[in-house]
């Protein structure tokens, strides 16, 4: 079937609906995983060794198992074990994504935090600052500068990982396009989704470039 203007518009509108879900998965994951990752990184750096150990094992498991499998686990295991359909498909995706990305972020945070020289903390201490003042006023911004590049990589990967939500039938953009392929034998919408991803990633790339430039006013 030839691509007509009206079919193009129709497909675009349908794909936009799917893209909304894609964006929602992206945004929710980001908003929840960014702070959770910080908490996990504190756990993995804890002076209380058992906590640090458990946290690191957890991070190892989450980073070592495919995200797709984790989505299955979060969605199906409660149902199978306890007949507990607690999480909707969409919520299961969010839970799996948030845990997965929080673990990746936590390792980036840890690298960034551990890279701050001890002298920065000590300078704050001898000036009578509290531990939390030192963290928020002295260390945090330096950490942000250090992690912005690895973070932007991870966040761009997240954009594309959202496509995994389709494994439990969440209608993100690629799922919507695949439905065209299976119901109307239209393959071009699937390829067309690339445009949406590229625009999204393009905007993020510009944004991170801007932030990096903003932070380049000083050298660490």
Partner 1 sequence: MALLEVKNVTKRFGKVEVLKGIDFSLEKGQVLSIIGSSGSGKTTLLRCLNFLETPDTGVISVDGNDIFDAEDTKKMSAAAIRESRLRFGLVFQSFNLFPQYSVMENLMLAPKLRAKEEIKAAKGTRAQLKQRFAEIEENAREILASVGLSDKEDSYPCQLSGGQQQRVSIARALMMKPDILCFDEPTSALDPELTGEVLKVIKGLRDEGRTMIVVTHEMEFARNVSDNVIFMANGVIEEQGDPEELFGAPKSTILQSFLSGIKK
**Which residues make up the interface to partner 1 (CB under 8 A)?**
117, 119-120, 122-131, 133, 137-138, 141-142, 145, 217-220
Nearer to partner 1 by Cβ, of 42 and 58: the residue is 42
Tell me if 37 sits within 8 A of 105, measured CB to CB.
yes
Nearer to partner 1 by Cβ, of 207 and 220: the residue is 220
User: For the purposes of burial, counting CB atoms within 10 Å of the CB of 164, is it exposed (0-12), middle (13-18) or buried (19 or more)?
Assistant: buried
Nearer to partner 1 by Cβ, of 10 and 131: the residue is 131
At closest approach, how far in Å is the CB of 134 from partner 1? 10
In angstroms, the CA 75 to CA 174 distance is: 20
At closest approach, how far in Å is the CB of 154 from partner 1? 23
Nearer to partner 1 by Cβ, of 121 and 208: the residue is 121
Q: How far apart are the first and last CA of the chain?
A: 58
At closest approach, how far in Å is the CB of 84 from partner 1? 44
For the CA atoms of 39, 155, 103, 125, the dihedral, rounded to the nearest 10 degrees, stands at -30
In angstroms, the CA 195 to CA 202 distance is: 10
- Taking alpha carbons only, the member of 172, 166, 143 closest to residue 27 is 172
At closest approach, how far in Å is the CB of 149 from partner 1? 17
At closest approach, how far in Å is the CB of 147 from partner 1? 14
Tell me if 142 sits within 8 A of 148, measured CB to CB.
no
Nearer to partner 1 by Cβ, of 50 and 119: the residue is 119
- Taking alpha carbons only, the member of 99, 116, 115 closest to residue 40 is 99
């Amino acid at each position: 079937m030839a691509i007509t203007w009206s079919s193009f518009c129709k497909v675009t509108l349908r794909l936009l609906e799917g893209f909304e879900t894609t964006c929602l998965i992206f945004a929710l994951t980001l908003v929840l995983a960014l702070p959770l990752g910080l908490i996990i990184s504190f756990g993995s750096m804890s002076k209380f060794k058992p906590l640090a150990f458990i946290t690191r094992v957890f991070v190892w498991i989450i980073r070592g198992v495919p995200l797709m499998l984790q989505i299955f686990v979060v969605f199906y295991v409660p149902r199978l074990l306890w007949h507990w359909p607690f999480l909707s498909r969409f919520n299961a995706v969010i839970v799996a994504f948030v845990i997965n990305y929080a673990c990746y972020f936590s390792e980036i945070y840890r690298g960034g935090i551990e890279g701050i020289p001890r002298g920065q903390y000590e300078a704050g201490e001898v000036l009578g600052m509290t531990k939390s003042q030192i963290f928020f006023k002295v260390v945090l911004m330096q950490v942000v500068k250090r992690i912005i590049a690895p973070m932007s990589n991870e966040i761009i990967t997240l954009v594309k990982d959202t496509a995994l939500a389709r494994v439990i039938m969440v209608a993100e953009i690629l799922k919507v396009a695949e439905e065209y392929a299976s119901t109307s034998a239209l393959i071009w919408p699937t390829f067309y989704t690339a445009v949406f991803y590229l625009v999204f990633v393009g905007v993020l790339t510009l944004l991170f470039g801007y932030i990096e430039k903003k932070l380049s006013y000083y050298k660490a």
